[in-house]
A = this chain, B = another copy of it.
């Protein structure tokens, strides 16, 4: 706890994020009180050591964090600004423009409001999955507006840092456009692809490889929460989804022009292949821009692939041998075989270490793929 931390924080809403934040702030030395429309949710959060249940006669909080469902956040923020006229108020909703608009529309004293978005969502939701470490090392976007007071910005930033987050500051419009592209768009396409698997027969499903698994992993996300998120960021999502819809339409036209067969190239519509090729190439370019490990510039790691039998401890032995070879593992991906009692471990290392590691592992008896 830094000496200037606002001693008292009230968290309104004790779902996954609110409860996790309560646990983290309590550990950091804050005095945390909790409230939730559901008495059961309040008590569960308290039992998870997220703080004490707020009461009418409590000292007023210095900071109110609204962690309510997205569609009621503006209402609860405006209410909080009115009830505690000295407090800074923030929220953790993943969409910021609609909240700010809603707060202003309610005539609240918005100078003490600074929005926030901890990017620590999971495929799970609810206090039962709360963790005090949820925010460590994660981005927490702090979103002031034109009239935000400097002290409010500082209080929210400090809170985010005190739970281990990496703070970036941007305005609501910039934030909403960014998450529409890096978070909401991937969620939509993952869901759309997964939806196509509903009616597939078993034989076709059995051909599912690592690609479709990766693309659809987040399709397991909570439907109620995501309906609110997408609805709340409708404008920015419409913008980027509209571009993808156009690109997809162009691709459909191009594929239609190919007449269903690449081997009979005679009746191609001129330019069709160029459209298909351009789409993949643009994807290559965009993919290469994703920042690398720990937020560093994208690094070109090279894979060393070893066969790991499906027996207890095998993967640990492999990684011990990697460590003993003096090579630092940068990333690791497990690729499961189909109907086979083993998997492939793809160990990402700096390119200069590939050969050395391959040799070292082979000497230790591992089947290393060439």
Contact = CB atoms under 8 A, between A and B. Distances in A.
A188 interface: yes
A356 interface: no
A185 B196 contact: yes
Contacts of A262: 70-71, 95, 98, 228, 231-232, 234
A216 interface: yes
Contact of A227 (B235, B280, B282, B310): B280
A163 interface: no
Contacts of A273: 227, 231
Interface stretch (A8-16, A146-154, A325-333): A325-333
Contacts of A272: 231
- Chain A contact residues: helix, strand, loop or mixed: helix
Contacts of A223: 277, 280-281, 284
Given A197-B290, A339-B166, A331 B334 contact: yes
Interface in A152-197: 164, 166, 168, 170, 174, 177-179, 181-183, 185-197
Interface string A316-348: 111111111011110110101111111100000
A143 interface: no
A56 to B, nearest CB: 27
A52 interface: no
A213 B188 CA distance: 14
A362 interface: no
A327 B348 CA distance: 25
Contacts of A197: 181-182, 286-287, 289-290
B137 A342 contact: yes
B252 A168 contact: no
A63 interface: no
Interface string A261-283: 11111000000110011011111
A215 B212 contact: no
Contacts of A218: 211, 214-215
A203 interface: yes
A189 B136 CA distance: 31
9 contacts: A131-B369, A132-B370, A178-B204, A185-B196, A192-B247, A223-B277, A234-B255, A294-B310, A331-B334
Given A186-B211, A231-B262, 4 more contacts: A73-B263, A137-B342, A181-B200, A198-B286
